[in-house]
A = this chain, B = another copy of it.
Amino acid sequence: MKIGQATIKDIAIELNVSASTVSRALKDYPGISDETKRKVKEVAEKLNYRPNAIALSLRKSRSFTIGVIIPEVVHFFFSTVISGIEEVAYSRGYNVILTQTNEKLSREMSSIDTMLSNQIDGFLVSFSKETTDFDHFSRLLNQGFPIVFFDRVPEIPHAISVMVDDYKGAFDATDHLVSQGYRNIVHLSGPLNLKISRERIRGYESALIKNGLLVNPDYIVECPIGTDHESQKITTKLLKSLPVRPDAFFASNDMAAVGAMLACKAAGLKIPEDVGIVGFSNWQFCTMIDPSLSSVSQPGSKMGAKATDILLDMIEKKLDPESITGPVVLETELLIRKSSVRI
């Protein structure tokens, strides 16, 4: 037994034919006799031949691999997106290589670099919180390199993106809180440089206005990190400092919602009686905590699948990027649980 994998040449030698014949026989090209095809396939089977994907990549200048760049896998939402991506990619014969940036711009840029030198066929990107300048993406886009952004999408020309309707999700959540009789609703927002954060603020504001309530900027508070710990501290402070005690919290993120919940409990407030709470993303733990947390669910897996389908269509030229004018927007769903129901 040889070391390493059998190659086309091994088959060729065994059968005393040329490598080209083997190559063609394996792919059922015309101009090769049935007899030869049979023998070649037989020997290929015997030697457990597997085509060398690297050699193929070099020859075709294609790797059949797509690169995925996300902030962090520990985020439930992103892990569901990954599943959607893998599902579609594998079914269409592509590999996935994944890196997390840990919210660092430097990691984002170096990942792009190494993936490019690995001849990646296209990118699926949700950029880091640090990313405010998009030159490194624009350059690639201008070269016609296939990129699809998801969830965190940039506002630059020619960028193709898949996102959820953050505006509507936030609107629904806030509207729901109002319908439950809550009046002084704080919005714990995400980092303001992310468009999704700004869209959610817009949705929150619209819902207030629609219901004839005032928008008070003091009731919109940024939670840049987004952990429960951070929001717990912020909420505790808010409960003391705000002139009128808030009676509801709509958080841009479930962890932040939990932090608010813990802070309220610690302050002796009952949920949902005294304070209503709604989160965003529908993490697994929403149903595990007490009271269960209402949340806006984002179709993560679907988003990953959709983004991948578009990317692969672009790679395979089945799709003209110019034909896509606006972002693809997926619907959210408000899941009402105990934390926000008191009527």
Contact = CB atoms under 8 A, between A and B. Distances in A.
Interface string A193-218: 00000000000000000000000000
A54 B99 contact: no
A53 interface: yes
Interface stretch (A30-38, A160-168, A280-288): A280-288
A97 B89 CA distance: 13
A262 B291 CA distance: 11
B98 A98 contact: yes
Interface in A79-112: 79-80, 82-83, 86, 95-100, 102
A55 B221 CA distance: 51
Interface residues of A, number: 49
A61 B52 CA distance: 10
A220 interface: no
A54 B118 contact: yes
15 contacts: A5-B116, A50-B117, A52-B117, A54-B118, A54-B119, A65-B97, A73-B79, A74-B79, A79-B79, A96-B97, A97-B97, A255-B284, A283-B285, A285-B285, A285-B289
Interface of A: 3-5, 50-55, 57-58, 61, 63, 65, 72-74, 76, 79-80, 82-83, 86, 95-100, 102, 113-114, 116-119, 143, 228, 255, 258, 262, 265, 283-285, 287-290
